[in-house]
Structure 1
Amino acid sequence: MGALSRAALALAALLGLSSAALEVHVGTGTVFSVEGQQAVLPAWYTSHSQKQLYVTWLLTKDGAQPFQILTYMEGEVKVRETELKPRVGFLYPIVTHNISVFINASRERDSGQYTVMVDVADDDNSARKNVGVINLTVLVPPAAPACQLHGDPAVGANVTLSCTSRKGKPSPTYEWQRAPPNLRFFFPPAQDHARGTLKLTNLSLEMSGVYLCVAKNRAGSANCSIALEVHSTSTKAVIAGAVLGSLAALATVVFFTQRLISYRRKKRDGQEEAANEIKEDAVAPKTPSWPRRAASDTISKTSTLSSIGGTRDRPYGAPPPSDTASVLTAATSYRGPPPRPAGRAPNFSPQASNGTAPRREPPAGPAALPPSSLARAGAVPVMVPAQSRAGSLV
């Protein structure tokens, strides 16, 4: 009986030496990482076995089903998740019992619950200590916020300054302050740290300046600024009047410029049309009529002229008469005195045979032109009374 007891104790001791309890340890249950930086999930296991090892890392997001991202079996590492494939891996060799995992260039969507499971061929895992859990949260710093002014910054009025950032994890808080040299901090209720608003009431000219907003969270911070210029109502009216006056002056200049251009265009077109009409409809100028002279000169002139009928008796080629050589009459039956020889002076007799006053003889002229030639030259037919050879009217 004692021999059997001793044999059982020896067998139990042998079995206890050959088997060791498997246990997985994690450095922390929660890991925070900043977007773009490396995230490390620390884990290791204890076991006295040197048998084959099997390691699996799982990821669970937002309550969904877990899926494999990384495995180690028979000395080979495999990445199961396509999105993490170029960025995930074991931090140390597996033989060191360190099964920590790194994630390079972490992203916000990498956040979730990571679970590691270890199995060894001859280790006892009945206590279910071969599992470790780590929660990863990737933080996102605030994006550069946008500062805005709401309201008219006139003296005595109220305005609101707002500051918002389009992303950030966790949600950023906002803090307004007046920039140096007039540094000033604001507190609730004037400032809302969660919404990023700052209310300024009963503005004065001294409240003008630069206001700075800082958006921050655990991952970092960013800021923006806005210049507040408080103006009086009179200044506003002067500015509005100046703007309106400038616009009116500009409109006047444009109006008169258009009128001047239109006037010059019409004037040029009119000159071109007049030049075209002169070129197309031009006629020969009229020959001026004889100027009027005293009655005695007219009688003396017409008494010596011959009618147009006598010109037909001259031979061809005779010299043309002057404009006083002959005058057209209604009836072409009167003829003037015969032409004098060339170079002979006119004969003046002191007394006429009938006792009348002496008469001045006109100089001899060339032969009279035909009526058609005189008409083309612009001569005008004149009606004169019949005369005797002595120059008296019949």
Structure 2
Amino acid sequence: MTVLTAPETKVAAPESQSALDTLMRAFETYKETNETRLAQIERRGVADPLTEDQVTRIDAALAACSARIAQVETRGARLPLGGRLETGDAQARAHGSAFLSYVRHGEADGLKALEAKALSAGVGADGGYLVPYETEQEIGRRLAALSPIRALATVRTIGAGTYRKPFMTSGPATGWAAETAARPQTDSPALAELAFPAMELYAMPAATQTLLDDGQVNIEEWIAGEVDSAFAEQEGTAFVSGDGVAKPKGFLAYPKAAESAWSWGSTGYVATGAAGMFPAADSSDVLLDLVYALKGGYRQNAAFVMNRRTQSAVRKLKDASGAYLWAPPAAAGQPASLMGFAVHEAEAMPDMADGAFPIAFGDFRRGYLVVDRAGVRVLRDPYSAKPYVLFYTTKRVGGGIQDFDAIKLLKTAAN
């Protein structure tokens, strides 16, 4: 049995709070400067270039503060491997020891004896070897911290190559009947199936033999640290815009339909009414329309997803009473909010442009499914890039929309 202790946050918490305090002060300065800019526009029809530049610089500082907070929280969430893992399972200890021998010295006999078959489908021992369970779990934790959509979506671990989920396209007929009236036979429900195949994602970190020979270096943690950002970047793009060919299908890759003509199998959208931007008058109304395009049951856990450039544009919007719609995090470890809903940055989201879909809003836990094929595999290659040793690391990941009611998009276009 493996016991994982919670990560310590004694160092990260004060740093997070300091970054949050800086963010709050910067946002107050931003509001004051932006009010000056708006007053100049109202008075003279155009803002002073120096004021515009000041607003831009403060906005960049806000983005930097937000990134710093996210970095600190991510670092604090990581659980160092080794030392704080108490493994009571003899087989797990044997696997960990054999894996270290393989990674450091290329000795695969121990892993061959432990693993019943090779790790890639139909390729024998060239498929590599499973990393220890703790390393696999740590890679998963780091991906959840780094990959915004994975952190929001439902994540399911599977043992097969494809996860299949049935859903009901039409339910049994129902109706009212008097106490003694006849009950006519109802139609049977119609079922369809959604398939989520797991595709191969790989990274290939390189190490020197000196690093591998150094007993003070935690090799398992090094591998996890080297592959997490590479995996997260690829996942982040695929979960947003992947075409489903040798990669997960992103929620922006499905057919789209105006909310008034929406049907199951497509993603509904609300248009801003202006090409590539928010409308000049009542700019916040389109965000209200987007929020209420989502059914009430989904709004309870809904969140906005956009990139930092779109968030910069949203940060300037106000409601009818003159209050800013965007608000900084209320506490360390929490996201910024827009109209009371959390805002999550995903750099893979498109910028605001004519016909683009720069903002998504919905309950992503119900709307999007990420499937992980159990097992992260490592193949040691000391030959291809001598004197470096390459570690071909793979995991299989899939994803797609599982509930088309749960995610809505904002389209920056006239219609």
Higher relative contact order (CA 8 A, sep 6+): 2
Q: How would you bin the TM-score normalised by the shorter chain?
A: under 0.3
Structure 1 length as normaliser, TM-score?
0.18
| Higher Rg | 1
Structure 2 length as normaliser, TM-score?
0.17
